[in-house]
Chain A
Amino acid sequence: MKLDYTPDQQRFRQEVRSWMTANVPPARLPSFDLTREGFEAHRDWERKLSEGRWGMVTWPEAYGGRELDLIRWLIFEEEYYRAGAPTRVNQNGIFLLGPTLMEFGTDDQKARFLTRMAAGDDIWAQAWSEPGAGSDLAAVRSTCTRDGDEYVLNGQKIWSSRAVFADWAFGLFREPGSERHKGMSLILFPLDAPGVTRRPIARMDGELVFAEIFLDNVRVPVADRLGDEGQGWHVCMATAGFERGLMLRSPARYQMAASKLAALYEANKKQLPASVGERVAQSWMDAEAYALSIYSTASRLEAGGTIGPESSTNKIFWSELDVALHQTALDILGSRAELVAQDQGNAPDDNWLDGYIFALAGPIYAGSNEIQRNIIAERMLGLPRA
């Protein structure tokens, strides 16, 4: 056990830090969920990252990556959040679809999709959920009907994050007449294809975070199916593993938030009881515990280990810590908490209310925490299914 960075790792940190210092936009970008303009500003940032070969550092060099190990990925993320760099508009693509493509994609698919994804040319949305099928993904009803070397897609998807302005989506479809886990395929489709209609869904704060996607006889080439025909469930479960595992939520995000929370508390503590300081310390501890857990998992994976159902404990832990952390921030703000434009003392860039509303979704997306608890109980601990 060596909890020190090697000189090489320290040099790498400095390299990332220098690049971020020189390139991170000085002002916060407009939201990518509110306007096309904000979305495109984030796409420009993805392009800039990609020019520095920082788009996805763990990817092979052939696709614009640096083939870095997971420890360096963590260091990269730490510097990314430390620098206050913009939220990744393409996280569905680079963190979820990307690894899935590398595992299940054909050479042709990798060549066509990965480089453009890393470059920000294609921004991806996830099209898994449907009305009537949330965490019960096997209940999806949208169909893919084979017609020669094309599929004809029909149905409706919902809660697709980023889909309002995104370019492509990856979705789960079933052969007509198939049931549950069988007969499903994972299919990639452009969101501007004929027959695709997007209807934005405004979140409680009015941001267009998600969309419904209606598919009416949308034709896509069979070559755009990811994985074997009828194996969509298997492929999706691998993606869900990436989602709940390391990549979706790097610890640096919460460590940065905990650091800002500590600063918020320091700036306001004269008016606050000491018990609030203990809650701030608890948020810091939780963010550290998450970081240590991910470092430990990363070390194990680098040594050839695998990640199993324990990834479900990650998802529960980060989503609950995020809610508690933001709740503590709002409690510090007190009567200012409800204000949309908050006066937050020393950190005018941070809007804790925004963060709180986003955190509320954490226990829901990427498989609800109720489902994660079932997974832990059944697959990790061996309790019987209902």
Chain B
Amino acid sequence: MEFAFTDDQLALTQAAREMLVDSCQPADLRRLLESDEPRDDARWSTINEMGLIGMLAPENAGGMGMTLVDFIGIAEAAGYVALPEPLIELAGVTLPLLSRLDETRGWLERAMAGAVVAIGHPVNPLVADADTADALLLGDGEDLHLVERGAVALTRTESFDPFRRLYAVEWTPSPATKVGSGWGDTADRGALLAAAQMVGLAQRCINMAVAYAKDRQQFGKAIGSTQAVKHMIASAQVKVEFAKPVVHAAAAELPLGTLAARARVAHAKIAAGEAADVAARMAVQAHGAMGMTWEVDLHFFLKRAMALNYAWGTAAAHRETVVERVKTLRTGPDATFASELA
């Protein structure tokens, strides 16, 4: 039993985090929006050069063969900066799925080099990043199909989060596009990595609230010196502190694929979603009327948190998995970890 990250994991996370924080400040997000470009090419190149995209792909496919535990801190960091580029889903969801298919028509290698393969999983009816994708991995019943971007018709559906480009996809499955069947653990990976991003988003909202509350004066003193504001912020921090270990455990346990492991992922999504929701709303309140404006950067983080809270399964849906686990598997003090349960 060793519930801790290794020094290597911490160092890798730290390096990725520094790169993301340096290159993805709110001012950078605003510049990207004004340029009307879907992504920052320089940052995407850096992400690619650091080898982050292929981290979880198997070594025999040219990846680094690392695990979700290696990657989870990077997902938190991506949330912390509200990263517009699809690093987390590409590296954490798409590539592991592609590498399990019988036939990828060369898309595994291309995705490893930074080509975007968007995923149309049944749990998310609108496909994110479909316009910038080079190909789409879509489901038709149990069958999976890889379809080139040019072979589908996309209809943009605008998200509250300006960096979420969501599309309804019209396409026709054919034997030529079929590449395998079954989504496997794709939805769980998506949920887990959304949870990790929400932990980062929650911490960002808290840090912004703290910075504002230290600076903003009312009645002749910083609002952050008042107990009402302090307690509101502290309560959000408690939510984050107790979502984080669940997310980390879920990263370690997800590969077991059991009900206990899936319930841990569900718990992670629920807890991180609640932490992000509480932290984002708290941060709006701490900013006062400014918190409602476009001018204050907070909205970037609030919007991403809200979007991720509903992506890859709602809290209500995940709660059913937890209820099922409590009902059918052993509970109690000697049944903490999924590996202890059948």
Contact = CB atoms under 8 A, between A and B. Distances in A.
Nearest to A375: B234
Chain A interface helix/strand/loop/mixed: helix
Q: Size class of B's contact patch? A: 35 or more
Contacts of B323: 277-278, 280-281
Interface string B236-263: 0110011111101101110000000000
Contact of A299 (B2, B222, B230, B233): B2
A79 B1 contact: no
Contacts of B234: 316, 372-374, 376-377, 380-381
A81 B333 contact: yes
A4 interface: yes
Interface in A275-317: 277-278, 280-281, 284-286, 288-293, 295-296, 298-300, 303, 310, 313, 316-317
Contacts of B233: 377, 381, 383
B246 A292 contact: yes
A71 B1 contact: yes
Contacts of B244: 293
Most chain A beta carbons < 10 A, residue from B2, B214, B251? B2
Given A4-B1, A289-B243, A295-B245, A374 B227 contact: yes
B246 A289 contact: yes
Nearest to A277: B323
Contact of A386 (B213, B226, B235, B242): B226
Interface string B326-342: 11000111111111100
A259 B332 contact: yes
B4 interface: yes
A382 interface: yes
A97 interface: no
Contacts of A316: 234-235, 238
Interface in A336-353: none
Contacts of B335: 255
Contact of B331 (A9, A79, A258, A383): A258
A384 B220 CA distance: 13
B55 interface: no
Interface string B316-329: 00010011001100
A262 interface: yes
B52 interface: no
Contact of B1 (A299, A372, A380, A381): A299
A299 B2 CA distance: 6
Interface in A247-288: 251-252, 255-256, 258-259, 262, 266, 277-278, 280-281, 284-286, 288
Chain B interface helix/strand/loop/mixed: helix
A5 interface: yes
Contacts of A122: none
A258 B335 CA distance: 12
Interface in B37-89: 69
A93 B235 CA distance: 31
Contacts of B294: none
A383 B319 contact: no
Nearest to B4: A299
Contact of A285 (B3, B222, B226, B271): B271
B14 interface: no
B4 A296 contact: yes
A293 B247 CA distance: 11
Contact of B336 (A288, A373, A376): A288
A76 B234 CA distance: 32
B225 A284 contact: no
The 9 A-B residue pairs with the shortest CB-CB distance, nearest first, are: A377-B230, A252-B333, A78-B333, A373-B234, A376-B234, A259-B332, A292-B245, A299-B4, A255-B333
Interface of B: 1-6, 9, 69, 206, 210, 213-214, 222, 224-227, 229-231, 233-235, 237-238, 241-246, 248-249, 251-253, 267, 270-271, 319, 322-323, 326-327, 331-340
Interface of A: 1-6, 9, 13, 71, 77-79, 81-82, 251-252, 255-256, 258-259, 262, 266, 277-278, 280-281, 284-286, 288-293, 295-296, 298-300, 303, 310, 313, 316-317, 370, 372-374, 376-378, 380-386
Given A251-B333, A384-B214, 19 more contacts: A1-B4, A1-B252, A3-B1, A3-B337, A5-B1, A13-B334, A79-B333, A278-B319, A289-B267, A289-B271, A295-B245, A296-B4, A300-B4, A317-B242, A370-B227, A374-B231, A381-B210, A383-B230, A386-B227
